[in-house]
Amino acid sequence: MTLAEGSYNASIHIKINGVTLKKKMIPSHAIFVSLIFNKPIYVTKEVLEISKALNPLNDDDFLEEE
């Protein structure tokens, strides 16, 4: 995954008969395909650095059902 112009972008690389194809898609779809085929997910250093600056969610961030 990469960060371009303020939004996350993803691509998958598919190897068929020795030929590698690159397909751009939204990150959630790329993650879904990766999970279906049990393949690794790679993230750029830029995305990792930005995610370090974000505040992680905790249980207090969610509303409880009444």
Taking only the tens place, the pLDDT of each residue in 45-64 is: 888 887 777 767 676 767 77
Lowest mean pLDDT among 13-17, 37-41, 56-60: 56-60
Query: What is the model's pTM?
Result: 0.62
Angle at 52 between CA 7 and CA 59, to 5 degrees: 95
d(CA 61, CA 57): 6
d(CA 33, CA 45): 22
d(CA 30, CA 11): 7
Domain range holding 10?
Answer: 2-47
Does 58 map to a domain? no
Does 32 map to a domain? yes
Does 66 map to a domain? no
Q: In angstroms, how far apart are the furthest CA atoms of the chain?
A: 56
Phi, psi of 36 (to 5 degrees): -60, -45
Over pLDDT 70: what percentage of the chain?
Answer: 77
Does 63 map to a domain? no
